[in-house]
Amino acid sequence: MIDQENQEVSNEEEFRKIEITVFRYNPQNSNTKPEYQTYTLEETPGMTLYIALIKIWSTMDHNISFDFVCRAGICGSCSMVVNGKPRLACKTRTSEFEDGKITLLPLPTFKHIKDLSVDTGNWMNAMSKKVESWIHAKEETDITAIEKPVEPDVAQAVFELDRCIECGICLAACSTKIMKEDFVGAVGLNRTARFAIDPHDERSDEDFYELIGDDNGVFGCMSLMGCEDHCPKDLPLQTKIAYMRRKMVKM
C-alpha cells in the first residue's frame, strides 16, 4: 500500500509544472517594448527546451518566435541563452533545472530578429568570407581524377574541426566578442585552423596572418575559454586557437 502511494507521488513529481520565461521583443515594431513573458506548462518525460517551446507555440502563444531546424544538435539554429548560459535548445532537457524555472534569452552579439530568434546566418557568411573559408590551391582540381591521398590522422583532424555547426554559442560566451563587434571569434579561428592543417590548402602562415593577424583575429582572443567550455560540439577550441596563435606570432 505504502509503495503504491510512493509510486503515485513520484509520478506526480515526474509531471511537474515548469515555468519558462521568455524575452519578448520585436525590434521591427516600434510599438513594442522589451519584456519577459512567463509560460507555465507541464513537463513531459524527456522534454527538451525545443519541445517545450513547440508546446508553447502550438498550444499557448502562436506569436512567439524562435529558430529551429534539425532538432538533433546538428543545424545550430536553436542556440539561445538558457539561465545565463548559451546552449542549444534541442540538446537541453528541462529536467536538469531542479526548480523548474527556466529563463530564455536570444543570443547576444547577433542581430536580433524577434523574441528568441537572431540572425546568425549573415554573420557566419561574412565571417567565412573574412577568413576566406575555402581551399586555396594554385592548380585547378580535376574532379574526374582520384583525389590526392591524405594521411588518415590529418584527415581526421580536419574532419574534427569541420564538425562546427556555426551555432554562434562560442561568440555569445566570449568576452572579447561581446565588447568588440568585429572579432571573428572561436568559430572563425577554428575555421582558419581547419584550413591551416588541411594539406589541400596551399596557403602559407603568412597568408593566414593577412586574415587573422590582428586584434579582430587571433590576437583579440584573451583565452577566457568561454568558447571551449560552452561549445555544444566539444570542439578543441582551446588548443586550436593556441595553435594558430603560435603560428601567427612567429610572423
Partner 1 sequence: MPQQDSTVELLTGKDSVGKKSKIPARLDLLQSATGLILSFFIIFHIVFESSILFGKAAMYRLTKIFEGEPFIEGGEPLIISALAFGIFVIFIFHALLAMRKFPSSYKEYQRYRTQSKMLKHSDTNLWFIQITTGFVMMFLGSIHLYTMMTQPENIGPYASSDRIYSDIAWPMYLILLISVVLHTGVGVYRLIIKWGWFDGSNPRANRIRSKKIIQAVVVVYLVLGLLSLGTYMKIGYDHQEEYGNRYSEVHK
Measured distance CA(133)–CA(188) in Å, rounded: 9
**Shortest Cβ 249–partner 1 spacing (Å):** 5
Among 81, 104, 124, 193, binds partner 1 (CB under 8 A): 81
Q: Which is nearer to partner 1, 66 or 209 (by Cβ)? A: 209
- What secondary structure letter does DSSP report for 146? P
Stretch that binds partner 1, among 29-37, 88-96, 188-196, 228-236 (CB under 8 A): 228-236
Measured distance CA(186)–CA(235) in Å, rounded: 10
Among 127, 189, 209, 235, binds partner 1 (CB under 8 A): 209
Residue 77 grid coordinates: 539554429
Measured distance CA(87)–CA(85) in Å, rounded: 6
Stretch that binds partner 1, among 10-18, 44-52, 154-162, 215-223 (CB under 8 A): 215-223
CA angle 77/24/170 to nearest 5° reads: 35
Query: Which pairs with CB-CB distance under 8 Å and at least 24 residues apart come from 112-115?
Result: 112/25, 112/27, 113/27, 113/65, 114/25, 114/26, 114/27, 114/28, 114/65, 115/22, 115/23, 115/24, 115/25, 115/26, 115/64, 115/65, 115/66
Stretch that binds partner 1, among 37-45, 110-118, 156-164, 175-183 (CB under 8 A): 175-183
Q: Is there binding between residue 245 and partner 1 (CB under 8 A)? A: yes
Among 40, 63, 122, 239, binds partner 1 (CB under 8 A): 239
Q: Is there binding between residue 186 and partner 1 (CB under 8 A)? A: no
- Binding residues for partner 1 (CB under 8 A): 81, 84-86, 105, 108, 172-173, 175, 178-180, 209-210, 213-215, 219, 221-226, 229-230, 236, 238-239, 242-243, 245-246, 248-251
